[in-house]
Amino acid sequence: MVHPVYNPHAGWAKDLLYYFNQFQAKISSEITISVYVVNDGSKQGIFSEDIQFLIEAIPNFHFISLEQNQGKGAALREAVRQSRGDIVIYTDADYPYLIENATEMLNRLLNHQADIVVGVRDEQYYDQLPMMRKIFSLSLKVMNYLFFPKLKVKDTQSGLKGFNHNGKEIFLRTKIPAFLFDMEFLVLASKTKNIRVDWIYVQVREGVVFSTMKAKTILTELLNFSLILIRGFFK
């Protein structure tokens, strides 16, 4: 499991352990789970006590710290690059989706049903989003239908994805540093022969509060979309 963190809330380490234990309780005891937490240049919220707590609580815990904030995509690439497992699943450290979603994803990968499994958000998810974030997310889906018809999954931006070693190779080819690395990943996968992409519906767990998107972030991601579009057409 790979979790990016940036200026996390107080108590994040205990929350991560709580949800990780729930996840581990639902899978076979024969499966060894390693946890990678990558700090994306946080200026607050991460203390040495948090890391020591997780080291003592999780047998296969790894902490990676980037000196400067580079973006979620860049942080995840570094953690995935250092991971050593046969399967990688990434999501936010607060496990915003139901634990059953993560276990279903893991089982599909373990059963060799796909190289990449993507979480697809249902209507309940969109109903909980702040208006600007909802408009942006739905607009991206429409643009994917228009510009990337070969994408098996048009909802590219959910925060739960998993892949095997074939998917890992593609993921590490991404370049977008921020949010649209997910889209870039799936566009690259759609252009790679013999890569099997599957999807599952994911549901937000109770109590999750979504942040708003700033106008500057939206403009940056629209620029990143144009870069993906150019690479998609000319590579």
> Tens digits of per-residue pLDDT, 169-196?
999 999 999 889 999 999 999 999 999 9
Residue 87 neighbours by CB under 8 Å, 6+ apart: 106, 109, 110, 162, 163, 164
CB atoms within 10 A of CB 66: 18
Better pLDDT: 45 or 234: 45
The rounded distance, in Å, linking the Cα atoms of 183 and 157 is 7
What is the average pLDDT score of the chain? 91
What three-state secondary structure class fits 212?
Answer: coil
Q: Above 70 in pLDDT, residue 210? A: no
CB atoms within 10 A of CB 119: 25
Question: Residue 212: phi, psi to the nearest 5?
Answer: -85, 160
The whole-number pLDDT of residue 122 equals 78
Domains assigned to the chain: 1-95 (3.90.550.10), 97-235 (no CATH)
Question: Residue 101: phi, psi to the nearest 5?
Answer: -65, -45
Q: Which two tokens stand for residue 62?
A: 């790894």
Q: Which two tokens stand for residue 217?
A: 């972030």
What three-state secondary structure class fits 104?
Answer: helix
Element (H, E) at 117: strand 116-121
Residue type, 106: L
The whole-number pLDDT of residue 234 equals 46
Residue 227 neighbours by CB under 8 Å, 6+ apart: 176
Question: Residue 164: phi, psi to the nearest 5?
Answer: -95, -165
CB atoms within 10 A of CB 85: 17
The whole-number pLDDT of residue 196 equals 97
Q: 102 near 91, Cβ under 8 Å? A: yes
Q: Above 80 in pLDDT, residue 211? A: no
The rounded distance, in Å, linking the Cα atoms of 194 and 157 is 23
Q: 65 near 50, Cβ under 8 Å? A: no
213 pLDDT band, cuts 50/70/90, is low
CB atoms within 10 A of CB 138: 13
The rounded distance, in Å, linking the Cα atoms of 13 and 34 is 15
Q: How many helices (H) and strands (E) does the chain have?
A: 9, 7
Average pLDDT over residues 78-98: 95
CB atoms within 10 A of CB 230: 10
Q: Above 70 in pLDDT, residue 114? A: yes
